[in-house]
Amino acid sequence: MRRKLAAGNWKMHGLTDSLSQIDSLAAAHPAPRVDILICPPAPLIERAFRRASGHAIAIGGQDCQTARSGAHTGDISAAMLKDAGASHVILGHSERRADHGETDEVVRAKARTALAEDLIVIICLGESRAQRESGTTLDIISQQMAGSIPDDITPDRVVIAYEPVWAIGTGLTPTPGQIEEVHGHIRAHLTERFGLQTAEAIRLLYGGSVKAANAAEIFAIANVDGALVGGASLTAEEFSPIITALEAS
């Protein structure tokens, strides 16, 4: 059985004081029945790791470089993330794809580098509003999967997150039927490419305006193994009910 995962992406939010939210989250979930992950901004990773030490909360990064080291001013390598205490890294988030022009090929290269450093990669997929309205969602998802996921994966090191671009931070959420269709399509694609055993072991997360009010409904959908949560992960008060809903699903 796939162990469920509640992952929080703090994006470009958080200063030192924000780390107290990890204490509150740990107090609310001392023995969680799901995996909990917080991905803070890079300057906070090491301090977040130390804060979470001894608790059932993992720490991850939000991106890494394709290269393992070198003359890449301002970039962060997978090895640096690992050294700071990160166990996971988010790759191919729509904001990275849009703001930094990251292609599927770049995401795949980053995934290879991160996997070589023994990080767990969370590879993000998702369609725009125009693509959803044109009826090409499944084609876009297939294209992103084919280009972004390396061939030589093991299911315990890869997580797939479906985040429709038009639902991120907008308050809009796909219908349960739309989420189920895409997650089923992702599982089928993984099965065709990697075989049933590997495909069935890979966790699929949903992301895009997940909050306490809709979490239970989302987690009841087939092939949803957790969530990649943005704004609602910034405080324990908002993130904790989502974790509780996932535990109950």
Q: How far is CA 55 from CA 42, 52, 99, 217, 243, in A?
A: 20, 5, 34, 28, 15
Catalytic residue among 93, 183, 185, 189: 93
**Residue 51 in contact with residue 23, Cβ under 8 Å?**
yes
**C-beta atoms surrounding 55 within 10 Å:** 17
Rounded CA gap, 180 and 34, in Å?
Answer: 21
Sequence-separated (6 or more) residues with CB below 8 Å from residue 196? none
Catalytic residue among 95, 102, 127, 163: 163
Using alpha carbons only, give the angle 144, 150, 152 rounded to the nearest 5 degrees.
150
**Residue 10 half-sphere exposure toward CB, CA atoms < 13 A:** 25
Query: Residue 163 catalytic?
Result: yes
**Helices then strands, each counted (H, E), the chain:** 11, 8
Q: 136-153 burial by CB neighbour count: b if 16+ within 10 A, else e?
A: ebbebbbebbeebbbeeb
In this structure, the chain runs to a length of 249
Query: Residue 189 catalytic?
Result: no
Rounded CA gap, 67 and 204, in Å?
Answer: 27
Which amino acid is residue 185, in one-letter code? H
Catalytically active residues are 93, 163
